[in-house]
Amino acid sequence: MAVAGSVVVIFLFVISILSPWIAPYDPSAINLKKVLVSPSVNHIFGTDQLGRDIFSRMIWGSRISLKVGFVATGISILIGAILGALAGYYGRWVDAIIMRFVDIMLCFPSFFLILAVIAILEPSIWNIMIVIGLTSWMGVTRLVRADFISLKERDFVQAAKIIGAGDFRIIFSHILPNAMASVLVAATLGVAGAILTESALSFLGIGVQPPTPSWGNILTAGKDNIDIAWWLSLYPGLAILITVLGYNLLGEGIRDSLDPRLRD
């Protein structure tokens, strides 16, 4: 699974990096003479309602999806790792306050919370990345907290305390590196979730705004022309499916390789 997921992830990286050279057309170039042209040799994925080449927009859209996935996941991992480390290491009232805050955040459906915040703020790619990151750290907090509760009783932590190491050094230099396995898995799966959320927001019209290409806003054009332009829904839908599946497979494979209890 990890190999299959890695192939998909590496392929997407290559496509996004080389998009200025791979894309045959300007993704924002309007050509009213080629409106809703079906897939052909000149336009292998067809064109949209403004005559823009779907293949070029899909390639450029991969950059947006990966940027949102990595930045949003980075924010959630940073917040979740710090709060989880503090809760697991100090315990008692620190743990109680942080975990009650986590419980409160989990009471709100994340997607509807994101919708509410985005509706208030101006829709932009940076607002989307920040909001997704700020509403998806709770699972990471729980994972890191559980690891810290177990690891802080190990001999190497007690030895660090004996030689006079401070709490900051013990948390970030000794315990957190040993808890990175679960964080890595959570990050990989989090990228897939962030990409899916961004696509859904763009599909609803409050995500990445035109003319910037995004798989989600290409799907919106597909919804409006589903009866006469099937390619507008098929190709971005497959891209989202394959991308999310690739990251999920990679995350599952990493988890299996890092957890000795899951090995045959």
Q: What is the pLDDT of residues 141-184, one digit of tens each?
A: 998 898 888 888 788 888 888 887 777 888 888 888 888 888 88
Q: Which carries the bigger pLDDT value, residue 76 or residue 166?
A: 76
pLDDT at 76: 92
Domains of the chain, start order: 68-258 (1.10.3720.10)
- Supply the pLDDT for residue 107: 84
Do 242 and 228 form a contact (C-beta atoms < 8 A)?
Answer: no
**DSSP output for the chain:** -HHHHHHHHHHHHHHHHTHHHH-SS-TT---GGGTTPPS-SSSTT-B-TT--BHHHHHHHHHHHHHHHHHHHHHHHHHHHHHHHHHHHHH-HHHHHHHHHHHHHHHHS-HHHHHHHHHHHSPP-HHHHHHHHHHTS-HHHHHHHHHHHHHHTTSHHHHHHHHTT--HHHIIIIIIGGGGHHHHHHHHHHHHHHHHHHHHHHHHTTSSSPTTS--HHHHHHHHHHTTTT-THHHHHHHHHHHHHHHHHHHHHHHHHHHH-GGG--
* Phi, psi dihedral angles at 211 (to 5 degrees): -85, 5
Cis-peptide, bond into residue 211, ω within 30° of zero: yes
pLDDT higher than 80, residue 257: no
Q: Amino acid letter at 154? A: R
The band of 129, judged by pLDDT with boundaries at 50, 70 and 90, is confident
Q: Which long-range contacts (CB under 8 A, 24 or more apart) does 200-209 make?
A: 200/111, 201/114, 201/115, 201/118, 201/128, 204/115, 206/115, 206/118, 206/119, 206/123, 207/118, 207/123, 207/128, 208/64, 208/123, 208/125, 208/128, 209/123, 209/124
Mean pLDDT of 244-261: 78
Residue 248 reports pLDDT greater than 60: yes
Q: Give residue 67's pLDDT.
A: 87
Residue 103 clears pLDDT 80, i.e. is over it: yes
* Mean pLDDT, rounded, for 184-210: 83
Residue 123 has a pLDDT of 72
Look at residue 261 and tell me whether its pLDDT is greater than 60.
no
DSSP 81-106: HHHHHHHHHH-HHHHHHHHHHHHHHH
Query: What are residue 47's DSSP bridge partners?
Result: 53
Please, which pLDDT band fits residue 186 given cuts at 50, 70 and 90? confident
Q: Report the pLDDT value the prediction gives residue 75, as an integer from 0 to 100.
A: 92
Average pLDDT over residues 201-215: 80
CA distance 173 to 154: 14
pLDDT at residue 220, rounded to an integer: 81
Predicted confidence band of residue 116 (pLDDT cuts 50, 70, 90): confident
Given pLDDT bands bounded at 50, 70 and 90, which one contains residue 263?
low
Distance CA 40, CA 136 (A): 41
